[in-house]
A and B are shown apart, each in its own frame.
Chain A
Amino acid sequence: MAEKIQMLALSPTMERGRIVKWLKGEGDEIASGDVICEVETDKATMEYESINEGTILKIIVGEGKDAAIGDTIAIVGEKGEDISGVLAEIERGREKEKMAVEGGSREGESRVAGEEAEEAKATATAGVSAGELFTARSTDESTAKSAARSITESAIESTAESAAGGIPSGKGRVKASPLAKKIARDAGIDISSVRGTGPEGRVVKRDVEGFLRAGSKSAAFGRTEIKEAEGLRGRKIPVTGMRKVIAERLSNSKFQSPHYYLKLTVEVESLMEARRRLNESVGKKVSFNAFLLKFVAEALKRNPQVNAGWFGDYIEYFPSVDIGIAVALENGLITPVVKNCEKLGILDIDGELELLIERAKAGKLKPDEYSGATFTISNLGSFGIEEFTAIINPPGSAILAVGSIAEQVVSIDGIPSVRKLMKLTLSCDHRVIDGAVGARFLKDLKDIIEEPIRALY
């Protein structure tokens, strides 16, 4: 019996995925657990592990094409099996979906587990994202996935005719007509960032022209973009992928959770000294952020009310301290999460951070590596920012904005004295953290930073 292989939610916030590469082809035998394709989600490129077994009879969604969660991306079964019935079913599903989309049902309400099938269908794509926008650790992911699986018919059909619907050339060899290559070359754009709509995803003239018209020159990663940043002036750039996720998540956070801000200044002489000594003893530069993460973890251990999340009808006090750190990417931002900071030493944290940041910059983070932070740190000190307020990154309820370190003249017992100072601003969600609780946490953090030995008290 032929079965449909469907697009799964490979990232908690994913609505659609793009098949970057098929690792198995039509006619290939697959077993459960085999990686059959690579899928670009809203934040990273994921490996798709099959839950089906048999022979791939047909690939429905080709390389570079999008599929919504629940969409049939391939058909698996026994060699030589007749799949016309399944194909007809998929076709019918697309028709239905088209009507559903026209009916405007895409902006569905949050999914409630166990909702009736019909309703689940109607809210299909929105359900997985809106309901679990922030990947709360309490989210029952498997429920989401199975719900997604049950909604094959409701997949949003890929808008193949639109510029966005074609095959993304992505990495590796780009199929493009010579003319398309020439136009791209002359315009100074990277042809691999243009989606092809010709046969087998060939990038043709109209694709490059459409790309230029859309003004998405900036979407071309890398040096071209930086060099030509001024080329953005006057352009309208479609909101897609990571930019869209950032916009949705942060708007939701800022609009839904009542933020308040606590500010204080810390002396960092002791911290700098501790870091200098550690650097000497291990013979490498340990990142300043590793210290911050460790000290924040210690302060959170003492103030578990701050290591908590708001879930509407309950507040969860998280069992571990998982700290996200905002990392700027060329085209956005991501927060890799160092898990179990409360159990890790500074060197462990440093090693982990290094790895995560490297992977983040390569776009290789897995969803569980950038989601589920119980607390977040954003450090703009290296830009010389003295102080700023950050937007809370759920499911955590607080974010620490770290400013630059600067020498300042301060009065110590009435005597002017030069000190290295740093400003910290804590944003808290008042629904979870009351002012005094936040203040106590920040005070503890200050004490530890100023006198690191306190971490042991």
Chain B
Amino acid sequence: MAIITFRDAIREAIDEEMERDDSVILLGEEVAQYNGAYKVSRGLLDKYGAARVIDTPISEEGFTGVGVGAALAGLRPIVEWMTFNFSLMAYDQVVSNAAKSRYMSGGQLKVPVVFRGPNGPAEYLAAQHSQALEVIYAHIPGLKVVAPGTPYDAKGLLKSSIRDDNPVIFLESEMMYAWKGEVPAGEYLIPLGEADIKREGSDVTIVTFSKPLKLAREAAGELEKEGISVEIVDVRSIRPLDEETIYTSVRKTNRCLVLEESWPFASVGSHIAWLISKNCFDYLDAPVELVSMEDVPMPYNHRLELAVQPSVEKVKEVCKRVLYKES
């Protein structure tokens, strides 16, 4: 099986879908002539032309609105946000128009648009450009939110997202673009709303998504050497959420921590932790824990920048805590 980067997995998904369906277009800042700020769209302008791969002005509200309108008019636009930090400019288009049109038209209108780009902290980007904003989208009924953590999942999920008739928020990460993984040749789809057990274990469940999956895997590997068996549930899509897979795992291990890279207050992770506490109550041997970003704006100082984010060490420590083991 070919080993490719996350970046190429996304490009393959877009390429295959554009090839398959003429209504699929890509628009955003520098997606065409520059081949994308992170080179995700490399070669797509040459292949599909300027009518389908469109450079937009630096105006998130404008081109996001264009994407929503194009979707309502029958196209399947992929709107690239250079980062999710900039998507704040376009939030009203997403919440008021993309998320509501299907509902308010009684289902007469479809909004098959994908908003994608890097979310979450990278490095040295300071407070304004290091935010993990998934919860402000996950909060909105009418949106789907997808958060792959591997190239394989990214490709299969993006293809499903493009074919979905609802607006989909698709979370990537600057750090992940270069990560590699096995991706089979040829078409495959991963349905939205199906979690994946990334690692089987018996002592504690880590529920996570997107970039922190890597931390979970590293921590699990180290804990295994200490005799602690970790199960990792990668939810892959935040909305819809595959609750049953999470519950099945927690009912098996009796202990759970939710791992995410956003702030903890009213976060996706805290919501999942609540769901688990509520639905697995009689199976819990310890409180459900949350490992997240510290509740502060991202410091610019690099050591502090690392210190406030979830780490392998933090994950290991909390795993031991829920197992009542001294760390």
Residues of A within 8 A of B (CB): 177-182, 197-199, 204-206
Contact = CB atoms under 8 A, between A and B. Distances in A.
Contacts of A181: 282
A204 B283 contact: no
Nearest to B254: A179
A178 B324 contact: no
Contacts of A182: 282-283
Nearest to B287: A177
Contacts of A199: 324
Contacts of A177: 284-286
B48 to A, nearest CB: 55
B286 to A, nearest CB: 6
A165 to B, nearest CB: 14
B324 A179 contact: no
A179 B253 CA distance: 11
A180 B285 contact: yes
Nearest to A199: B324
A179 B254 CA distance: 7
Nearest to A196: B324
A211 to B, nearest CB: 14
Task: Name the 5 nearest CB pairs between A and B, nearest first.
Answer: A205-B285, A179-B285, A182-B282, A177-B285, A178-B281
Interface in B263-287: 281-286
Majority SS at the chain B contact face: loop
Interface in B240-264: 254
A183 to B, nearest CB: 9
B251 to A, nearest CB: 9
Contact of B283 (A178, A197, A206): A178
Contacts of B283: 178-179, 182
A182 B286 CA distance: 13
Contacts of A179: 254, 282-285
Contacts of B254: 179, 205
Interface of B: 254, 281-286, 324
Given A177-B286, A178-B283, 11 more contacts: A177-B285, A178-B282, A178-B284, A179-B254, A179-B285, A180-B285, A182-B282, A182-B283, A198-B324, A205-B285, A206-B324
B254 to A, nearest CB: 5
A107 B254 CA distance: 43
Contacts of B286: 177, 198, 204
A178 B250 CA distance: 13
A205 B324 CA distance: 10
A302 B101 CA distance: 106
Given A177-B286, A179-B254, A204 B281 contact: no
Nearest to A197: B324
A449 B282 CA distance: 62
B285 to A, nearest CB: 4
- Best-buried of A179, A181, A182, A206 by chain B (most CB within 10 Å): A179
A162 to B, nearest CB: 15
A240 to B, nearest CB: 23
Nearest to A206: B324
A352 to B, nearest CB: 49
A284 to B, nearest CB: 50
Contacts of A205: 254, 285
5 contacts: A178-B283, A179-B254, A181-B282, A204-B324, A206-B324
A198 B284 CA distance: 13
A177 B255 CA distance: 11
A182 B282 CA distance: 6
Contacts of A180: 285
Nearest to B324: A198
B231 to A, nearest CB: 16
B278 to A, nearest CB: 11
Contacts of B285: 177-180, 204-205
Contacts of B281: 178
Nearest to A198: B324
A161 to B, nearest CB: 10
B325 to A, nearest CB: 10
A197 B284 CA distance: 16
A182 B254 CA distance: 12
A177 B282 CA distance: 8
A30 B281 CA distance: 42
A206 B325 CA distance: 12
A205 B284 CA distance: 9
A197 B326 CA distance: 12
Nearest to B286: A177
Nearest to B283: A179
Contacts of B324: 197-199, 204, 206
A223 B281 CA distance: 28
B179 to A, nearest CB: 36
Contacts of B284: 177-179
A199 B285 CA distance: 12
A204 B282 CA distance: 12
A177 B285 CA distance: 5
A117 to B, nearest CB: 36
Nearest to A176: B285
